[in-house]
Structure 1
Amino acid sequence: MASRKKDGKGSKRRRKVLPGNWSVYQRAGDGRWVAKFKVEETGRYKELYAQSEDEAYEKLQQALFEQKQGVLATGPKQTVGKYLTQWLEEVHKPTLRPSSYARYHGLLKNHILPALGHIQLQKLTAQQIQTFYTRKLEEGQSASSVTSMHKVIHNALANAVRWRLVTHNVSEHVTVPKETARRVQPLSIEQIQKFLQAIQGDRLEAFFILALTTGMRHGELLALHWSDFNFQEMSVAVQRNVNYLADANGVCHFVEGEPKTKRSKRKILLTRFAVDALKEHKTRQLQERLRAGDTWEERGLVFCTRVGGYLLKPTVIAHFYSLLKKAELPKVHIHDLRHGVATLLLSLGIHPRLVQEILGHENIDTTMSTYSHILPTMQAEVAEKLNTLFEGLI
């Protein structure tokens, strides 16, 4: 064993037994052991703390090995919260659509940072992440939501490894809850009739009629401008989506961005039923504008607040649920109105490729996999038509 020598400050320092600029010594103040070595990449010294001499040597040898392999964490110490915020704003945001950024921002602000933000990045463990996921599930978050949180954490830590802030991605060692597909519950023809009766005269009647007849997404409907409509041609151009972020003071900032996919930018022909509803809606909106006077915010929005501003998605969803209750209908998801359009079109024998274009799906596989539950009925109709054909040939 190497001999000890005093360093002049009352601490005991070990002689070198491995090549390189390093030392191991015990601090006089608290008795902790320190492994100190020079980081080749920065030229600065890094200290590792341990409870025993053997542990200090183990940490030192591991650090020197990682440095040799090029995987040593050399970045500054910081919390998970500070790093994740920087990663999202400076690294990931430029690559995201506004809707995706809004979702990531919400997951960080409402879930990840309150639970893990205070932990030192280099001390974050797989066990802490696993406990976080378990707690979220117990709080009532869906497996899909927790999986989204995992994607944020995993992508951010993968970047931290590239930046040499941590040696490895600890989120790779956790178990992610298995997602189960949400059961689609499109309204039947009879239920649609009841719903239409319940929304007659409602200030968002045209919103729901468009949802029922075009299959547009919630965010696409809220981003519609009057200039998107061609009433002579009876069509609407879907060109944007809208999302919002709430700042630290709870103030919402709305952002218009590109629709979900490239094919989401599309033109949809309207029914006369929808056009009539839109014209009535425009008349009602002009009356609201007159009542609002100077408080009106002119944005050219089709569906807006009583002073012309953007509508919040949660506000529209809550109103939708109240209308379902009024119609004595089951509480379905607002997105099921879109599913209902696709289900109805496919059941009427409309070609899936055309349904794909109307819904704005990126590819036909998405359309067919989402609405595969309709295929057995369609196959039965095909079999019946074939029976009729061949029986006529005999």
Structure 2
Amino acid sequence: MTWVARFGMVLLSSAFSSHSITELFLPQCTSITLENRKRKYFYGETRKEVQEKLKVALHQQQQGTLVVGPKQTVEQFFTHWLEDVHKANVRVSTYKRYQNLLRLHFLPVLGQYQLVKLSPQHIQALYAQKLKEGLSPRTIRFLHAVLHKAFDHAVRLSYLPRNICDMVELPRSEKYEYHPLTLEQIQQLLSCAQMHPLEALFVLALVTGMRRGELLALKWRDINFAENTLQVQRALIEVRGEDLRESEPKTAHGRRSIYLIPLAIDALKQHRARQLEVRLQHADTWQEQDYIFCTSHGSPFHVTYILNSFRSLLKKASLPRIRFHDMRHSAATLLLSMGTHPKVVQEILGHSNIRMTMDIYSHVLPSMQKDAMTKLSRALQQES
């Protein structure tokens, strides 16, 4: 390509004979003249930002995927954003969730609209319609977060002047009611889990608060028996229509080291001994993958087996039917109620920030405050 100056403007001659690129007087603006003689403009805070947008447009034009203003539908844009922009930056499970959410609740209603003509009223009406159809406020708020990300990208590409989601009112969020087990219930569950094939998994879930996918992805090399520590390095995720696959932990803080109490160490040692026996019995079909919780062939347990085993154990222990994830809440609630600092609990759980820990377990904090003030009162009385 060569730059040619003409009448205070800069023209760019390129290999694409079907259009010309013009950089206007301001270095923050560049435009492309397309085959239909319509002009597409790119704006930015700096010349570098504009050139980046231009580079993307040239690639799309070469591939035949560059769509301009009035011709581009909402469905065309969201397909481009999801497949070409967002997919490479998220876990497969997150991509699938976004894809299903858009396919089921957004594109059938608004996909045929021209992107530039979509308004906040369209989005607001969509949310009202979905609420009437029985979609939960929680799901609508998640859909809103997805739309906001996509429209942010449209603004960066100068397709839209501003993010229309910023002008939409969201339904009041339903606060999920957690059902953590009490200390007595945890002890009851652990007692019933003794000698169960998944005893070690249930012990780890209740004393470390690890996520289900993190537990299933544990490998023996992640356990340091000399130091009594466990390293969370990965997670196993369930992708619809596919086998379980390894993925990065849910958050950047998901990679973490957790100190293991003797109860957990003993359970793991017993589990390893039983696994070695199974391995010898199925030597012909065993495939070494180093998973701690695996089938008689060495492959990781499927989620369905884990959940069914958990429900059976709850029934055996005469405990209320709770979610597997509530064992994570049980561990956190117990730690906080025992006076553990929220920052420590955050690190154990792998939350991205302490605010998340405080928000989720705010119901525990008032009792912590009462205990703290009681201790302060006793200390002052002793001094006097």
Please say whether Structure 1 and Structure 2 have the same fold, judged by a TM-score greater than 0.5: yes
| Gapped regions of structure 1 (runs ≥ 5) | 1-39, 48-63
Kindly indicate whether residue 348 of structure 2 is the aligned counterpart of residue 358 of structure 1: yes
Do the aligned partners of 1:76 and 1:165 also contact (CA within 8 Å) in 2?
no
Kindly indicate whether residue 257 of structure 2 is the aligned counterpart of residue 264 of structure 1: no
Deviation at 1:266, TM superposition (A): 1.8
Superposed CA RMSD in Å reads 3.6
Kindly indicate whether residue 243 of structure 2 is the aligned counterpart of residue 252 of structure 1: yes
Task: Provide the residue aligned with 2:187 in structure 1.
Answer: 193
Aligned-pair identity in percent equals 44
Matches within 5 A, 1:266-345: 266-290=256-280, 295-313=285-303, 315-345=305-335
Do the aligned partners of 1:81 and 1:116 also contact (CA within 8 Å) in 2?
no
Number of equivalences? 331
Kindly indicate whether residue 112 of structure 2 is the aligned counterpart of residue 119 of structure 1: yes
CA distance in 2, matches of 1:89, 1:318: 35
Q: Deviations over 1:275-299 (max 9, x none)?
A: 2211222233344445555554432
CA distance in 1, matches of 2:352, 2:325: 18
| Gapped regions of structure 2 (runs ≥ 5) | 1-30, 45-66
CA distance in 2, matches of 1:77, 1:91: 20
Q: Give the counterpart of 2:146 among 125, 144, 152.
A: 152
Answer with 1 or 2: which has the greater Rg: 1
CA distance in 2, matches of 1:112, 1:377: 43
Deviates more, 1:123-132 or 1:298-307: 123-132
Q: 1:348 to 1:303 in 2, by over 3 A?
A: same
Q: 1:101 to 1:176 in 2, by over 3 A?
A: same
Q: 1:67 to 1:384 in 2, by over 3 A?
A: closer
CA distance in 1, matches of 2:317, 2:292: 25
Q: Give the counterpart of 1:209 among 197, 203, 207.
A: 203
Deviates more, 1:325-334 or 1:116-125: 116-125
Kindly indicate whether residue 104 of structure 2 is the aligned counterpart of residue 104 of structure 1: no
* Partner AA of 2:288 in structure 1: E
CA distance in 1, matches of 2:306, 2:70: 45
Q: Give the counterpart of 2:221 among 227, 244, 257.
A: 227
Q: Give the counterpart of 2:177 among 179, 183, 197.
A: 183
* TM-score for both structures, normalised by structure 2: 0.72
Deviation at 1:124, TM superposition (A): 5.8
Deviates more, 1:381-390 or 1:115-124: 115-124
Q: 1:157 to 1:354 in 2, by over 3 A?
A: closer
Do the aligned partners of 2:43 and 2:158 also contact (CA within 8 Å) in 1?
no
Deviates more, 1:302-311 or 1:142-151: 302-311
Q: Deviations over 1:159-205 (max 9, x none)?
A: 23544556775555544322122122210012112222333333222
Q: 1:141 to 1:282 in 2, by over 3 A?
A: farther
* Partner AA of 2:367 in structure 1: T
Deviation at 1:387, TM superposition (A): 3.0
Deviation at 1:111, TM superposition (A): 4.8
CA distance in 2, matches of 1:132, 1:312: 37
3-state SS, counterpart of residue 252 of structure 1: coil
Q: 1:103 to 1:67 in 2, by over 3 A?
A: closer
Deviation at 1:344, TM superposition (A): 1.6
Matches within 5 A, 1:49-88: 74-75=68-69, 77=71, 80-88=74-82
CA distance in 2, matches of 1:121, 1:300: 52
Kindly indicate whether residue 370 of structure 2 is the aligned counterpart of residue 376 of structure 1: no
Do the aligned partners of 1:204 and 1:303 also contact (CA within 8 Å) in 2?
yes
* Partner AA of 2:112 in structure 1: I
* Partner AA of 2:269 in structure 1: K
3-state SS, counterpart of residue 260 of structure 1: coil
Do the aligned partners of 2:42 and 2:157 also contact (CA within 8 Å) in 1?
no
Task: Provide the residue aligned with 2:87 in structure 1.
Answer: 93
CA distance in 1, matches of 2:167, 2:210: 39
Kindly indicate whether residue 375 of structure 2 is the aligned counterpart of residue 385 of structure 1: yes
Do the aligned partners of 2:279 and 2:286 also contact (CA within 8 Å) in 1?
yes
